[in-house]
A and B are shown apart, each in its own frame.
Chain A
Amino acid sequence: MRLRLEKRQEPSRLMVVVTPIAAVLLTMLIGVIVFDAIGINGQKAVVDIFLTPLLASYKWQDVAVKAAPLIIIALGLSIGNRANVWNIGAEGQYIIGALCAAGVGIAAGGAGGPVIVMLMVLAGVAGGAAWAAIPAALRTRFSVNEILSSLMLTYVATQILGYLVGGPWKDPNGRNFPATAPLIPDQTLPILVPGTTIHLGVLIAVILPFVFWAIMARSVFGFQIRVVGSAPQAARHGGFDSKQTIWLAMLIGGGMAGLAGSLEFTGALKAINLGFPSGYGFTAIIVSFLGRLHPIGCLIAGIVLADTYVGGQLAKTSVHIPDSTAGIFQAMMLFFILASDIFVRYRLRIVRTQKAAPAMAAGE
């Protein structure tokens, strides 16, 4: 009696949807077990991390605000991943996007208003895209692996941030703390729901997935991305240029990350300090995988991961675990979804082993 993996004739659509759900549930289960094992109230911890933020309405705004950048970045990354272009530098593009928005804000002086804010956000998109253009150029002209180049540039971006907020852009009234001066209200995004922190960026994060969905499903561009990722030779046969695809995928990924950065800056944080890079660029990779690279999946997965971020902070006070513990759960969900990928393509079968026929090894 043996387990055997048998290739399916067609990838299982059911499994594509079931596996992310299973991954989340499995993670919760393991979490309870592990926490209990080390002497922490497992059930309370897992409930606080996963469920409480969704059930407690006063926490919804936190989840929404945290989900917005995750969703937006993940949308951009999904395009790239679908086309087999691996942009790992979203964190850096996010930072540069925010810095560009800040730069426009500072250049505008005391001026504000919707036009200025829009310029700031657009500057963020452009900045993020420009930062992603570097690995794109390196890949198309020098065949440099974009995983390594985009990753390295993330740390360069972090240093640029450190320099600017500790130097030329430091808030003169800020007690010598390396941070930009807080944005004047005229230079921030409007709040959508009065009395909450839900800013315009949240609405954008809810609308964009549908826009991306339409583009991916119906447009030739979406088709191009899918073909290039699935069968590059067929893509060339169909008349699609692989270099152009790489550029577009990277620019979109960078632009989205930059957008997220500028929205987070103008909508939520309103100032940039050394703690600005909160790892969204990396978590967004988890979001895009958990969302199966599908725009609506990214929307849902973004909410799930934001939920764990907020829940992690809750659990810090309720069961006294460090908030970086949320990372354990996020990573576990990613592990499970990656592992379960195999069930989309293969079926598990139990076979009875028979005695092998003697002598002839009919190899290929």
Chain B
Amino acid sequence: MSDTPPRLGLRGISKRFPGVLANDNVSFEVKAGEIHALLGENGAGKSTLVKMIYGIMQPDAGEISWNGERVVIPNPKVARKLGIGMVFQHFSLFEALTVLENIALGMDAKIPQRELEGRIKQVMEQYGLTLDPRRIVSDLSVGERQRIEIVRALLSNPTLLIMDEPTSVLTPQEVEQLFVVLRQLAKEGCSILYISHKLHEIKALCETATILRGGKLVDTCDPRVETSRSMAEKMIGGNLRDIHKPAGRSFGREKLVVTELSMPGLGHFGMSLKDISFRAHAGEIFGIAGVAGNGQTALLLALSGEATTDDAQAIRIEGEEIGGLNAKQRRLKGLASVPEERNGHAAVPDFTLSDNSVLTGRDRLRLAISGIIRPGRARRYTGEVISAFDVKTTGTEATAGSLSGGNLQKYIMGREILQKPQVLVVSQPTWGVDAGAAAAIHQALVDLAAAGSAIVIISQDLDELLQLCDTLAVINGGRLSRAMKVSEADINEIGLLMGGIHGEGAAAAPSAPAPSAIGAEATSAA
């Protein structure tokens, strides 16, 4: 069949954002009726690529061809007209309205309700997507909500359907049902571009897999034939970074002990934590790797104290049970934290840097005594942070919102590190930060560990973790893998764990997963 042009062709596609090359000369083809996987970690460039196919963005270089002809796709409406449909990872649904009304709102053309209902029923029957059009969306399960999005996309008769991480919100049974639908679509000639990081699904469903890493295309292969290990290796990168840590370093006593920590998910779609256990010793840098949306946000909030648990002994610092304590109390016990969101969570953009120091330092550093703030002390401390961490700012009274991303992150890290915590938990320490600031932050973390603190780094940047950490575990579906020494780690095993395939002795696939919507936001970064 090599004379029929491919349904979708990408040639030399590149896209640059300030500071990062999101897609670098990517070329591949999707044949008619093919189920084609797009595989890669966060930041590999998958979402950027797909946004360009759907017309949300334009490539800086390269061309897109549709059924052999060169096309320009300036907006999603044009994409839909060509026959490209997309089911997003995050649904934009109206909770209080019915299924039928939601679909009607999303249609380009105005179709009378009766007729629309008829067509919806027909599509549902054709693909076995059972849904009562009259039901209100807020009553539906997550899997059912996704079906609304799928039906909406199918109603415009697509010949290419893009699915963005569709199974992160589904139960195993719902995943199977989805696969049935997708296979049927493919049989009828519709091509499917399936974005995922889950290796076992890609092996089960897809005929072709294009693997991206760091914006570049690594390989296009046949997942039915390739092993999971080799795909994981390509996904993460085969060459291990040089790790500048002498093997066999000894650590001090246990600083942080987490034992079978379970927490419910945040909000409607939050990923719950299930029996998380690990230990961090003095002088140790413990890394938690994972693709976004697997419980990282919930884990940080559970450790920082913003979410407390009834099981007080699940989190212990230097032997003391702190599971029931809030953030302020945990700080007094020596646990500091840095959440991934700089603006609005780690720092208040409208407040001065001095005031932001008071936010977390008031008790431990006595920046406030008996309920009264000492502005002089706060200013002095802030000054120390600014000079020690080389924060470029007009002074201690500059508002946090006026700092650049890298500088604000340096300030926040400095604010916590100079409080000399016993345990420091950080999430995404260098996300969106320029290389210079990132290097400074990394060094500061290493120095803090050398001074005897235990550090836990939750990050989606595996390179960062491999560079910094002594010990590594992988979070997936709200569960934590066993801890591995980085110096002895098998990169392929890490990749498999990130891809949801557990090694020997692993439990069955987690039930009722649902990723944290907040964590998953970071997926679309560049």
Q: Do A and B interact directly, with beta carbons closer than 8 Å?
A: yes
B-binding residues in A (CB < 8 A): 9-11, 218-221, 223, 226-227, 230-231, 233-234, 236-241, 359-364
* Given A218-B372, A236-B306, A239-B331, residue A11 in contact with residue B350 (CB < 8 A): yes
CB of B74, distance to nearest CB on chain A (Å)? 5
Contacts of A230 in B (CB 8 A): 348, 350-351
Is there an interface contact between A237 and B402, defined as CB atoms closer than 8 Å?
no
Closest B residue by C-beta to A240? B328
Is there an interface contact between B341 and A233, defined as CB atoms closer than 8 Å?
yes
Q: What sequence of 0s and 1s flags, for each residue 307-349 of chain B, a beta carbon within 8 Å of any chain A beta carbon? A: 0000000000000000000111101000001010100111111
Is there an interface contact between A237 and B351, defined as CB atoms closer than 8 Å?
no
Closest B residue by C-beta to A363? B56
Cα distance A257–B344 when bound, in Å?
32
Contacts of A237 in B (CB 8 A): 304, 306, 327, 337, 339, 345-346, 359-360
Is there an interface contact between B347 and A234, defined as CB atoms closer than 8 Å?
yes
Contacts of A359 in B (CB 8 A): 72, 74
Cα distance A10–B348 when bound, in Å?
13
Among candidates A220, A221, A223, A238, residue contacting B327 with C-beta atoms closer than 8 Å:
A238
24 A-B pairs (CB sep. < 8 Å): A9-B401, A9-B402, A10-B402, A219-B373, A220-B368, A220-B371, A220-B373, A223-B355, A223-B373, A227-B348, A230-B350, A231-B345, A231-B348, A233-B345, A234-B345, A234-B347, A237-B306, A237-B359, A238-B327, A238-B360, A359-B74, A361-B75, A363-B75, A364-B57
Contacts of A241 in B (CB 8 A): 326
Contacts of B304 in A (CB 8 A): 237
Task: Say yes or no for B42: interface residue by CB 8 A criterion.
Answer: no
Is there an interface contact between A231 and B344, defined as CB atoms closer than 8 Å?
yes
CB of A226, distance to nearest CB on chain B (Å)? 8
Is there an interface contact between A236 and B372, defined as CB atoms closer than 8 Å?
no
Task: Say yes or no for B6: interface residue by CB 8 A criterion.
Answer: no
Q: What sequence of 0s and 1s flags, for each residue 373-416 of chain B, a beta carbon within 8 Å of any chain A beta carbon? A: 10100000000000000000000000101100000000000000
16 further A-B contacts with Cβ under 8 Å, apart from A238-B360, A239-B331, are: A10-B399, A10-B401, A219-B373, A221-B371, A223-B368, A226-B351, A227-B359, A233-B345, A236-B306, A237-B339, A237-B359, A239-B305, A239-B329, A239-B363, A362-B57, A363-B75
Task: Say yes or no for B362: interface residue by CB 8 A criterion.
Answer: yes
CB of A214, distance to nearest CB on chain B (Å)? 9
Most chain B beta carbons < 10 A, residue from A11, A233, A234: A234
Contacts of A218 in B (CB 8 A): 372-373, 375
Task: Say yes or no for B358: interface residue by CB 8 A criterion.
Answer: yes
Closest A residue by C-beta to B332? A239
CB of A143, distance to nearest CB on chain B (Å)? 14
- Which residues B272-313 have CB closer than 8 A to chain A? 304-306
Closest B residue by C-beta to A9? B402
Contacts of B67 in A (CB 8 A): none
Task: Say yes or no for B58: interface residue by CB 8 A criterion.
Answer: yes
Cα distance A229–B369 when bound, in Å?
23
CB of A361, distance to nearest CB on chain B (Å)? 5
Most chain A beta carbons < 10 A, residue from B345, B362, B375: B345
Q: What sequence of 0s and 1s flags, for each residue 500-519 of chain B, a beta carbon within 8 Å of any chain A beta carbon? A: 00000000000000000000
A-binding residues in B (CB < 8 A): 56-58, 72, 74-75, 304-306, 326-329, 331, 337, 339, 341, 344-351, 355, 358-360, 362-363, 368, 371-373, 375, 399, 401-402
Is there an interface contact between A239 and B327, defined as CB atoms closer than 8 Å?
yes
CB of B62, distance to nearest CB on chain A (Å)? 14
Cα distance A241–B359 when bound, in Å?
13
Contacts of A227 in B (CB 8 A): 348, 351, 359
Contacts of B56 in A (CB 8 A): 363-364
The 4 A-B residue pairs whose C-beta atoms are closest, nearest first, are: A239-B328, A239-B327, A238-B359, A231-B348
Most chain B beta carbons < 10 A, residue from A236, A238, A361: A238
Cα distance A236–B371 when bound, in Å?
18
Among candidates B57, B344, B399, residue contacting A233 with C-beta atoms closer than 8 Å:
B344
Contacts of B363 in A (CB 8 A): 239
CB of B394, distance to nearest CB on chain A (Å)? 10
Is there an interface contact between A219 and B58, defined as CB atoms closer than 8 Å?
no
Is there an interface contact between A219 and B306, defined as CB atoms closer than 8 Å?
no
Cα distance A11–B328 when bound, in Å?
29
Cα distance A11–B362 when bound, in Å?
25
CB of B351, distance to nearest CB on chain A (Å)? 7
Cα distance A364–B54 when bound, in Å?
11
CB of B57, distance to nearest CB on chain A (Å)? 6
CB of B207, distance to nearest CB on chain A (Å)? 32
CB of B222, distance to nearest CB on chain A (Å)? 35
Cα distance A23–B39 when bound, in Å?
58
CB of B15, distance to nearest CB on chain A (Å)? 11
Contacts of B350 in A (CB 8 A): 11, 230-231
Cα distance A201–B345 when bound, in Å?
42
Closest A residue by C-beta to B59? A360
Is there an interface contact between A220 and B372, defined as CB atoms closer than 8 Å?
yes
Cα distance A219–B367 when bound, in Å?
11
Is there an interface contact between B372 and A219, defined as CB atoms closer than 8 Å?
yes
CB of A49, distance to nearest CB on chain B (Å)? 36
Closest A residue by C-beta to B373? A218
CB of B19, distance to nearest CB on chain A (Å)? 17
CB of B160, distance to nearest CB on chain A (Å)? 20
Contacts of A11 in B (CB 8 A): 350
Contacts of B306 in A (CB 8 A): 236-237
Closest B residue by C-beta to A364? B56
Contacts of B348 in A (CB 8 A): 227, 230-231, 234
Is there an interface contact between B347 and A220, defined as CB atoms closer than 8 Å?
no
Cα distance A91–B401 when bound, in Å?
38
Cα distance A220–B375 when bound, in Å?
11
CB of A356, distance to nearest CB on chain B (Å)? 13
Cα distance A240–B360 when bound, in Å?
10
Closest B residue by C-beta to A360? B58
Contacts of A219 in B (CB 8 A): 371-373
Cα distance A238–B363 when bound, in Å?
10
Contacts of B359 in A (CB 8 A): 227, 234, 237-238
Closest A residue by C-beta to B331? A239
CB of A215, distance to nearest CB on chain B (Å)? 9
Contacts of B341 in A (CB 8 A): 233
Cα distance A234–B356 when bound, in Å?
10
Cα distance A237–B339 when bound, in Å?
9
Closest B residue by C-beta to A214? B372
Contacts of A236 in B (CB 8 A): 306, 327
Contacts of A220 in B (CB 8 A): 362, 368, 371-373
CB of B331, distance to nearest CB on chain A (Å)? 7
Contacts of B402 in A (CB 8 A): 9-10
Closest B residue by C-beta to A359? B74
Cα distance A359–B59 when bound, in Å?
13
Closest B residue by C-beta to A362? B58
Cα distance A9–B375 when bound, in Å?
24
CB of A246, distance to nearest CB on chain B (Å)? 16
Is there an interface contact between A231 and B349, defined as CB atoms closer than 8 Å?
yes
Closest B residue by C-beta to A11? B350
Contacts of A223 in B (CB 8 A): 355, 358, 362, 368, 373
Closest A residue by C-beta to B347? A234
CB of B347, distance to nearest CB on chain A (Å)? 7
Cα distance A227–B345 when bound, in Å?
11
Closest A residue by C-beta to B74? A361
Is there an interface contact between B346 and A234, defined as CB atoms closer than 8 Å?
yes
CB of B16, distance to nearest CB on chain A (Å)? 13
CB of A203, distance to nearest CB on chain B (Å)? 25
CB of A313, distance to nearest CB on chain B (Å)? 41
Contacts of B349 in A (CB 8 A): 231
CB of B99, distance to nearest CB on chain A (Å)? 26
CB of A8, distance to nearest CB on chain B (Å)? 10
Cα distance A236–B339 when bound, in Å?
12
